Chains A and B, each alone.
Chain A
Amino acid sequence: MNRVLIVAQHDGDQLASATAKTLQCGRAIPDAQISIVVFADQGNLLAAQAAKLEGIYEVIVVNDVAHAHPLAAVIAPQLAELAVEYTHVFAPATTFGKDLLPRAAALIGAVQLSDIFEVASATVFRRFIHAGNALETVEVNAAVIFGTVRVASFVAANSAEKSVLVREYVPKVSSTSHTRFVSISGKSADRPDLQSAKYVVAGGRAFASAENFKQIYELANLLGAAVGASRAAVDSGFVPNELQVGQTGKTIAPQLYIAIGISGAIQHVAGIKDSKTIVAINMDADAPIFEIADIGLVADLFDVLPELKRAFK
């Protein structure tokens, strides 16, 4: 039997949807008994949420004031302590999971795979390399396999009829003080979340100013969509960094992705490949974005935006 441990992601109040998607990846491991671990300041309510997810055996909660804000240096030794009992340890390939998992894996000399896209068996996995331009199939030979999961490639596990048991775990390792949380800023709080939104409207360098980029927000509001951006738009200061989509930004998988004034560099495309439908609006008929777009419109964005807004009302 395989024993799979899923590391929950949450914001202190709610489990992130990335957790149920990571769980779904874990459920693809054959003959698996799955546990979810919640590291939190006061995690009992979070653990109760996790306990309702389908297909799990138990939830482990590690309560510690040091987890009020998650720090890899603090969580990794605790996770490593638990991990030796498992064959697989998965976390979402978000900045939370990507920061934490390698640190824990190294502590017990485990192998890690990053950004798992598909599970072929308990030891064979598929993942994208070269910014999504190649798909690699790897076989791992290790007692414990760590993996970050490309959440855009998995549908969330459903909730179950009955909750499983929650067990509290008290780690033996003592906490470290060499890493201290100072602050976090950004959180475009009142907007739909980029990584779970059904619709995403994104803009690129072509908007030329933050003022012009506001039209993306207007369009998004009309559709109930999240806002995304290319790296060029972020670097030009039109929008904050957390809206960047791509190899070094977020990987997203909405029903509908509308890219306006974005050229479609491979690093950008790496983040939108899993979108159901891609619409591209670009003035340049040869822009690479049209190669992956399902629906393309060659037009000047400033000409079509007013009409689009009217149509979306």
Chain B
Amino acid sequence: MTMKILVAVTRVLDYSAPVRVHADGRGVVTEGVSRAMNPFDEIAIEEALRIKERGSADEVVVATIGPSACQQQLRAALAMGADSAIHVESDATLEPLLVARILLKLVEREQPAIVMLGKQAVDRDHGQTGQMLAALWGRPQATYASEIVLSEATARVTREVDEGLEILDVDLPAVITTDLRLNEPRFIKLPAILKAKKKPLTALTLNELGIEYESRIKVLRVDAPPARPPGIRVDNVQELINVLKDRALLR
């Protein structure tokens, strides 16, 4: 039997660009801001590729749900080394539960031993999809992974939790979400980009997957975060200490 890894990737506003908010509250300015793959998803692809390169997996499939422009990120994933890609077309606002339901349909089609996701998409900061997919699938979840060791039927995952590092054993198939220290994604080389153009990319619609969903979260408005009052500069340590004492922060 072939051992497959399914990696879910999503397209986000480039996180290195400054975020601006429309003054009328209608949302974050997206015009003229470049898009990129969610950094955690890049780490998920990298990990899947490393597992395959070590001989512990045969195939890496990447999938995304979103408008047609998302195919750009799928091509990037294929150029990194993924074997094939699935694009589920949707222009809707995607709540995590909807994404999880769609991914479950892909899981049923592809029968992966591991589904890898990012721990959170850095634009909407939900951090829910992996856990929701694991719930719907009735399988284990290992979130915030910083190390993955595979054996025959289990994965031993080190998780970055508030208390430190936690180690879990999960039976496969399982859902794993990535944290930043899991690996450092490779750079894409030019010949790989050309080769990726020939790799299979399947397009599906929500209709074909039999998915219906009514959005239940309505964004009323988006504002800039409350501003902090302007600060002051001090010239030396003594002055700093004096100000802290004045403000009763030091005795």
Name B183-222 residues within 8 Å CB distance of A.
Answer: 216-222
Task: Mark contacts of B93-130 with chain A using CB atoms, 8 A cut-off: 1 yes-contact digit, 0 otherwise.
Answer: 00111001000000000000000000110111111111
Whether A129 pairs with B124 at a CB distance below 8 angstroms is yes
Asked whether A195 lies within 8 Å of B135 as measured between CB atoms, the reply is no
| Cβ-defined contact, A103 with B163, below 8 A | no
Q: Give bound CA distance, A234 to B143, whole Å.
A: 19
Whether A311 is near chain B, meaning CB under 8 Å from some CB there, is yes
Q: Is the CB of B234 within 8 A of A132?
A: no
How far does the Cβ of B162 sit from chain A's closest Cβ, in whole Å? 5
- Which partner residue on chain A sits nearest B225 by CB separation? A135
Residues A241 and B181 in contact, CB atoms below 8 Å apart: yes
Decide yes or no whether B85 CB sits under 8 A from chain A. Answer: no
Our pick among B120, B123, B142, B236 for the contact of A297 (Cβ within 8 Å) is: B236
Please, how many angstroms separate the alpha-carbon atoms of A106 and B233 in the complex? 49
Q: When the two chains form their complex, are residues B140 and A178 in contact, meaning their CB atoms are under 8 A apart?
A: yes
The CA-CA distance from A40 to B169 in the complex, in Å, is: 20
User: Of A136, A294, A298, A308, which is within 8 A of B237 by CB?
Assistant: A308
Of B123, B162, B219, which contacts A242 at CB under 8 A? B162
Q: Are A307 and B237 in contact (CB under 8 A)?
A: yes
B156: interface (CB < 8 Å): yes
Interface assignment of A205: CB less than 8 Å from any CB of chain B = no
CB-CB nearest in chain A for B157: A182
Q: Shortest beta-carbon distance, A281 to chain B, in Å?
A: 8
Flag the segment in B44-52, B71-79, B241-249 that touches A. Answer: B241-249
What is the interface of chain A mostly: helix, strand, loop, or mixed? mixed
CA distance A115 to B229 in the complex (A): 24
User: Closest B-chain residue to A77, C-beta based?
Assistant: B135
> Are A142 and B220 in contact (CB-based, < 8 A)?
no
Produce 1/0 per residue, A228-256, CB < 8 A to B.
00010011000011100001101000011
Residues 51-75 of B, flagged 1 when their CB comes within 8 A of A and 0 if not, give 0000000000000000000000000
B-side contacts of A139, CB under 8 Å: 217-218, 220
CA distance A295 to B231 in the complex (A): 6
Counted as pairs of residues, one from A and one from B, with CB atoms less than 8 Å apart, the total is: 241
Q: Does B28 contact A (CB under 8 A)?
A: yes
Least CB distance from B20 to A in Å reads 8
Considering only residues 66-122 of chain A, those with a C-beta below 8 Å from chain B are 71-73, 76, 94-96, 98-107, 109, 111-115
Known A-B contacts A137-B219, A186-B164, A273-B225; the reply to A311 vs B241 at CB < 8 A is: yes
Docked CA distance A295–B244 (Å): 9
Give the residue name and chain of the B residue nearest to A195 (CB): B162
Which of A127, A131, A181, A296 contacts B231, CB < 8 Å? A296
What 1/0 flags go to A48-82 for Cβ under 8 Å of B?
Answer: 00000000000000000000000111001000000
B28 neighbours in A (Cβ, 8 Å)? 129-130, 133-134
A174 interfacial by beta-carbon distance below 8 Å: no
Using Cβ atoms and an 8 Å threshold, which residues of chain A touch B134? 73, 103
How many B residues face the partner with a CB closer than 8 A?
80
Report the count of interface residues on A (CB-CB < 8 A): 82
Tell me the nearest residue of chain A to B28, going by C-beta.
A134
Are B128 and A102 in contact, CB atoms less than 8 angstroms apart? yes
**B3 interface contact, C-beta 8 A:** no
Residue among A127, A178, A311 with the highest chain B CB neighbour number at 10 A: A178
B83 interface residue, CB < 8 Å from A? no
* Contact call A109/B164, Cβ cutoff below 8 A: no
Partner of B218, one of A98, A138, A247: A138
Checking B123, B144, B217, B225 against A132 with a beta-carbon cut-off of 8 angstroms, the contacting residue is B225
A134 contacts B225, C-beta separation under 8 Å: yes
Using A182-B168, A308-B237 as known contacts, say yes or no to A231 and B223 having CB atoms under 8 A apart: no
Which chain A residues lie closer than 8 Å to B133 at the CB level? 106
Cβ of A43 to closest chain B Cβ, rounded Å: 19
Q: Which of A115, A124, A242, A248 contacts B179 (CB 8 A)?
A: A248
Could you say which residues of chain B place their CB within 8 Å of the CB of A296?
A: 231-234
- Inside 8 A of B125's CB, which chain A residues have their CB? 114-115, 127-131, 247
Q: List 14 A-B contacts (CB under 8 A).
A: A100-B131, A103-B132, A112-B128, A130-B122, A130-B125, A132-B225, A133-B18, A134-B224, A136-B219, A187-B164, A235-B181, A248-B120, A298-B233, A312-B250
Q: What 6 new A-B contacts, CB under 8 Å, besides A99-B144, A133-B18, A295-B243?
A: A102-B128, A134-B19, A134-B21, A186-B165, A255-B249, A295-B232
Q: Which residues of A contact B (CB under 8 A)?
A: 71-73, 76, 94-96, 98-107, 109, 111-115, 124, 127-142, 178-187, 195, 231, 234-235, 240-242, 247-248, 250, 255-256, 266-267, 273, 277-279, 290, 292-299, 304, 307-308, 311-312
Q: Could you tell me which B residues sit within 8 Å of A by CB distance?
A: 13, 15, 18-19, 21, 28, 95-97, 100, 119-120, 122-136, 139-144, 146, 156, 159-171, 174, 179-181, 216-226, 228-229, 231-238, 240-241, 243-244, 247, 249-250
Closest 4 CB pairs of A and B: A186-B164, A133-B19, A106-B132, A102-B128
